Every structure is written in structure tokens, then in C-alpha cells.
Amino acid sequence: MRLLLIRHGQTPANVNGVLDAEVPGPGLTDLGQQQADALPAALADRGIERLFVSTMVRTQITAAPLAASLGLEPVALPGLREIEAGDTQGKSDKVSVQTYISTVHGWSGGDRTTRMPGGESGTEFFERYDDAVRQIVASGVEVAAAFSHGAAIRTWASAASRNTPDHFGTQRNLENTGIVEVEGSFEDGWRLVDWEGEPVGGEQLIDRTAQDPTGERF
């Protein structure tokens, strides 16, 4: 199958560089809503048959315009949520941001036993994200779109894709409504098809001033 992993639209936390992985979390900024509104036209010809979202509000709001245009009801999967921030939740200082990023970077480097301080381990993250993707595969469709989160998409897609090194996502940006496209299966392996790091819909939807730690290169 072909899976489009779409990062949610911009949130206030993205603007201010705050680590926020609590469920259900915040909604979107005005720009975030504009980014979401651009998705139907941008993805009209992609053949999407099913939509999936995380249990975080920002993915659900982002998916709503596309869902309405396609006449689809998004399915919420808890495993698609952002990587837990643990002790760094709600913080924006350099030490906290570096702790979060370095932990995720370590998972990408192969050390999945390390635990986010006060949060989940790499092993636990991959298990629950794999489970979510298995549920998407089980839907039986050829093309699906899943609305998820910056660090989660970058980390899972890079590790799952056989044609990229596990740390690939640490070297690529994934701004709000950026899309990572993979194809394949767990049995035959996944392959990275495309990495669209900037928001779909044009440069006017890019916020160059946002302090977005999970969207920038690690």
C-alpha cells in the first residue's frame, strides 16, 4: 500500500518552540488552519481512500477539510500521537529541547532502549506506531493518509524505510503539513517514495520565524 504521513498544521506551541505532546493538546493557529484548508486542492489527485488521525486535536482539525472534500470519516489511532515529551513537557528552554531531540536522535541511531526522561522508550514508541500502521494496512486500501506529528513521522518513516538510513529523518525538515510518503508492507518492507518537507499549498504558508523544534533538522 501507499501511505501518506501528513504532519498537522501549525499550533501555538510550534510558533513558540514549546515541547507539547500531551493528549489532546492545542488546536491550530490561524496559519495552521490555512495550511489545513490548502490540503484538499493539493491532495485531490492522490487517490486517498481512507483517513487516519491521532488522538491529538491538532491532527483532527487539520484532517477535517480534506475529510469533508473526500467524503471520508477519519479514524483515530492512539499510536499515531507525538513522541512523549516526559519531563520536558511544556518547556522551551535549550536544555529541555536538546534533551528531547538527543533522545529521539539516539533512537534513530539504533539505541531504542533509551527512555525519554519521564516518558516512553524508543522500543515502546516503535511498538505503538507500528501497531497503528498495521491497523491502517488492515483497512485493505491501496492509498491511505495518516495525520500525525513531526518527530514521530520523521523517526518512524526513516527507520521503517529500507532505502534510507535510520537517521535520515534527523537530516530533513518536516514543517507543518509537510508529507512523507512511503509504500510497501511490513512483510515486504517499506520504501520512502517522497519527502515533502515544506507545507503543501505554497510558500505563503511557510512561517520562517516559528521556533519549531520537532519540524527542524535535529
Paired strand residues for 75: 52
Report the SS3 class of residue 71. coil
Instruction: Give 170's pLDDT tier (boundaries 50, 70, 90).
Output: confident
Please list the active-site residues: 8, 82
Whether the pLDDT of residue 146 is over 70: the answer is yes
Into how many domains does the chain fold? 1
Residue 217 lies in a domain: no
Instruction: Give 13's pLDDT tier (boundaries 50, 70, 90).
Output: very high
Residue 76 lies in a domain: yes
- The reported pLDDT for the residue numbered 218 is 58
For residue 117, how far is the Cα from the chain centroid? 21
Domain hosting residue 151, numbered range: 2-205
Whether the pLDDT of residue 68 is over 70: the answer is yes
Report the SS3 class of residue 108. helix
Residue 212 lies in a domain: no
Residue 9 lies in a domain: yes
Per-residue exposure over 152-176, b if at least 16 CB sit within 10 Å of its own CB, e if not? bbbbbbbbbbeebebbbbbebbbbb
Query: C-alpha cell of 38?
Result: 490548502
Integer Cα distance of 151 and 144 in angstroms: 20
CATH of the domain at 185: 3.40.50.1240
Instruction: Give 217's pLDDT tier (boundaries 50, 70, 90).
Output: low
